[in-house]
Amino acid sequence: MSAKDNIKQTVTENDVVLYMKGTKMAPQCGFSQRVAGVLNYMQIDYTDVNVLADDEIRQGIKEYSDWPTIPQLYVKGEFVGGCDIITEMTLSGELDKLLEESGVCFDKAAAEKIREANG
């Protein structure tokens, strides 16, 4: 299976996918750590893909999304964004709205705590 086919299958078969450096329990860069931290804190069930484990996936995800950086978050097969975009969406409440509209469960109180702590 090509990297592109693998990526397409992963993002379509899982509601929430984070392509990251490292894993959700052991991120290996600050940007991946920030996004995984938000998703973990909000208790979102997501699939993590460690791009450091596979060079074809690492390059392939950049081509698939036409986005040059890692991490990359997908919800219901759609590319949402990288670290800065996810941070902004979390703080503005847009991420909550996207998750609700997509039928993805998350801890709303945790999302509010993130906004309160950064307000």
Tell me: is residue 29 an annotated ligand-binding position. Answer: yes
Contact 72, 19 (CB under 8 A): yes
Residue 24 exposed, middle or buried by CB count within 10 Å (0-12, 13-18, 19+): buried
Binding site: which residues? 29
| Residues making up the binding site for [2Fe-2S] cluster | 29
